[in-house]
C-alpha cells in the first residue's frame, strides 16, 4: 500500500460548516484549526499503523471536529484570561514598587516570572483542613467562589470576534454570577469554625451587598441608554459618544463600588490581616489560598472590563470606527483602569467598617439614583 502523506489528513476546512456557527468567533476558529492539526496528525499516525481503519476518518469528521473545536475554544479563552490575570498581578507589583521607591519583582524578563515562582511556592505548601470545620461548606463555598470568578472572566468578550457566546442578556448574566461570591464567602467564613473567619465573612457579605446595590443601579442606567443587555450592543451604542461623557457620575460610582467588590485596599476589611489574621481566608492554606488570591484578581479583571465595556467604548478607538486589533485596544483600556486600582491601593489606608457602609449606603446609593435620573431625563428629552 503506498505511503499516505500527513498533508492528506490535515486539511483546513471552513469553520462555518458547523451548523451552530453563524457568527465569526476567533477563539473557535483557533480551536477548529488546532484540532485539524492535532486530530489530523493522530488520524494519520493511526492510519499509518492500521491502514484503512475507520477510526482515522472518524477523528477528522465534521461532527468530531466541531465538538472538539468547542472544547479547544474554551481552553484558548481560559488560557488568554489566565495570562491577562498574571499580567495584571505583574502590573500591580510594578506600579506599587515604583510608587514605594523600590525595584518590585525581578524574576524573569522585567520580573514577569515572579508570579509563576510564587504560584509554584504556594503549590508546594502544606494543604491543611481544620478538623472541626464543616467539610462540605468549607470546600463547596471555596469552589463556587473560585469557579464563578473564573467563569465570568472567561465570559468577558475582548471584541466582537472574541467571545465564548453571543447571548442577549450577557451583562445581566455576568452581574448575576458576580453577585454569588458574597454569599459563598459568608458560608466559607462560617464553615471554618473560626471566629476571625466568621467576622471576615460577615464583613464581606455586608460590604459587598452595600456596594452591589449602587453598582446595579448604574448598570441599569447603562442598559437603559444602550437599550440592550447584550455587550456587543452596549459597545456599539457608544460609537458616537462614550457613556462616560453623559454618565461621569455613574462612572465614579462604579469605580468606587468595583474596588469594594474586588475587596481591594482601602476596602479590604473582610481580610484585614492586622486585626483578623486573614479574615474569611484564615483557615485556607496551600493551593486553596493561592486559588483564592487568583480568584480575587479574576474578579478585579472583570470589574475593570465591565468599566471599559459600559463607559469607555469597549474595544473601540476614539473618534474612529476602524480597529484592526480590537482585543489589544480593549486590554489596554483594562490595564489603564487597573492602574488606577493599584494607584488607589498605594495612596490610601484601610478604612473602618462603619465608614465603608456609610459610603456605600449614604453616598454612592444616592449618587447612583441621581445618575439614573439624569439618564431618564436625557432619554425623555431625546438627547440620547
Give burial (CB, 10 Å; 0-12/13-18/19+) of 4. Answer: middle
| Cell 475587596 sits on residue | 263
Question: What pLDDT score does 368 carry?
Answer: 93
Asked if residue 200 lies in contact with residue 276, where contact means CB atoms within 8 angstroms, the answer is yes
Hey, is 112 helix, strand or coil?
coil
Residues 6+ apart with CB under 8 A from 320: none
Best CA proximity match to 220, nearest among 243, 191, 190: 243
pTM greater than the 0.85 cutoff = yes
Please tell me which residue, 282 or 309, carries the higher pLDDT value: 309
Neighbours of 164 (CB within 10 A): 20
What is the rounded average pLDDT of the residues 150-169?
86
Strand partners, 162: 159
Asked if residue 77 lies in contact with residue 154, where contact means CB atoms within 8 angstroms, the answer is yes
Strand partners, 159: 162
Question: What pLDDT score does 1 carry?
Answer: 42
Confidence of residue 79 (pLDDT cuts 50, 70, 90): very high
Best CA proximity match to 192, nearest among 284, 80, 77: 284
Widest distance between CA atoms in the chain: 81
Domain boundaries, the chain: 11-80, 132-380
Cell of 266: 482601602
Give, as one character, the DSSP assignment of residue 162: B
Hey, is 378 helix, strand or coil?
helix
**Cα distances (angstroms) measured from residue 142 to each of 157, 241, 278, 340, 382:** 25, 41, 15, 28, 47
- Rounded distance, CA 378 to CA 245, Å? 12
pLDDT of 213 above 50? yes
Asked if residue 312 lies in contact with residue 338, where contact means CB atoms within 8 angstroms, the answer is no
Neighbours of 161 (CB within 10 A): 16
Residues 6+ apart with CB under 8 A from 57: 43
pLDDT of 347 above 80? yes
pLDDT of 22 above 50? yes
Name the average pLDDT for the chain.
Answer: 84
**Tell me: the pLDDT tens digits for 263-290?**
787 877 766 666 666 677 777 878 888 8
Q: Where are the alpha helices (DSSP H) in the chain?
A: 26-49, 54-59, 62-99, 114-124, 135-155, 170-178, 181-191, 195-226, 231-236, 248-261, 273-276, 286-311, 326-347, 353-359, 365-380
**Tell me: the pLDDT tens digits for 160-197?**
888 888 777 778 888 888 888 878 888 888 888 888 88
The terminus-to-terminus CA distance of the chain in angstroms comes to 71
- Crossing angle for the helix pair 286-311 and 114-124, nearest 10 degrees? 140
Amino acid at each position: 500500500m503506498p505511503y499516505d502523506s500527513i498533508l492528506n489528513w490535515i486539511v483546513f476546512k471552513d469553520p462555518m460548516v458547523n451548523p451552530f456557527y453563524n457568527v465569526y468567533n476567533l477563539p473557535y476558529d483557533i480551536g477548529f484549526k488546532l484540532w485539524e492539526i492535532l486530530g489530523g496528525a493522530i488520524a494519520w499516525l493511526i492510519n499509518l499503523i492500521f491502514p484503512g481503519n475507520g477510526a482515522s476518518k472518524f477523528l477528522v469528521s465534521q461532527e468530531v471536529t466541531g465538538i472538539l473545536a468547542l472544547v479547544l475554544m474554551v481552553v484558548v479563552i481560559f488560557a488568554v484570561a489566565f495570562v491577562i490575570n498574571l499580567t495584571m498581578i505583574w502590573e500591580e507589583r510594578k506600579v506599587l514598587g515604583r510608587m514605594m521607591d523600590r525595584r518590585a519583582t525581578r524574576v524573569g524578563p522585567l520580573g514577569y516570572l515572579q508570579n509563576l515562582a510564587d504560584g509554584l511556592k504556594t503549590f508546594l505548601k502544606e494543604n491543611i483542613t481544620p478538623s472541626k470545620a464543616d467539610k462540605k461548606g468549607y470546600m463547596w463555598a471555596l469552589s463556587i467562589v473560585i469557579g464563578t470568578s473564573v467563569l465570568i472572566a472567561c465570559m468577558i468578550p475582548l471584541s466582537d470576534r472574541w467571545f465564548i457566546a453571543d447571548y442577549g442578556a450577557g451583562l445581566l448574566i455576568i452581574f448575576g454570577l458576580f453577585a454569588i461570591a458574597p454569599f459563598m464567602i459568608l458560608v466559607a467564613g462560617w464553615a471554618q469554625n473560626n471566629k476571625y473567619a466568621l467576622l471576615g465573612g460577615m464583613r464581606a457579605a455586608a460590604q459587598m451587598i452595600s456596594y452591589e446595590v449602587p453598582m446595579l443601579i448604574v448598570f441599569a442606567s447603562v442598559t437603559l441608554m444602550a437599550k440592550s443587555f447584550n455587550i456587543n450592543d452596549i459597545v456599539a451604542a457608544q460609537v458616537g459618544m462614550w457613556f462616560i461623557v453623559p454618565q461621569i457620575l455613574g462612572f465614579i460610582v462604579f469605580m468606587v463600588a468595583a474596588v469594594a467588590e474586588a475587596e481591594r485596599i482601602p476596602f479590604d476589611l473582610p481580610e484585614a490581616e492586622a486585626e483578623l489574621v486573614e479574615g474569611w481566608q484564615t483557615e485556607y492554606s496551600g493551593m486553596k489560598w493561592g486559588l483564592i488570591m487568583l480568584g480575587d484578581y479574576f474578579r478585579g479583571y472583570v470589574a475593570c472590563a465591565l468599566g471599559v465595556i459600559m463607559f469607555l467604548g469597549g474595544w473601540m478607538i476614539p473618534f474612529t470606527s476602524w480597529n484592526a486589533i480590537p482585543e489589544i485596544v480593549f486590554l489596554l483600556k483594562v490595564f489603564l483602569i487597573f492602574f488606577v486600582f493599584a494607584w488607589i491601593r498605594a495612596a490610601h489606608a484601610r478604612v473602618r467598617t462603619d465608614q465603608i457602609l456609610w459610603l456605600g449606603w449614604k453616598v454612592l446609593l444616592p449618587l447612583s439614583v441621581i445618575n439614573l435620573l439624569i439618564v431618564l431625563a436625557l432619554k425623555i428629552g431625546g438627547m440620547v
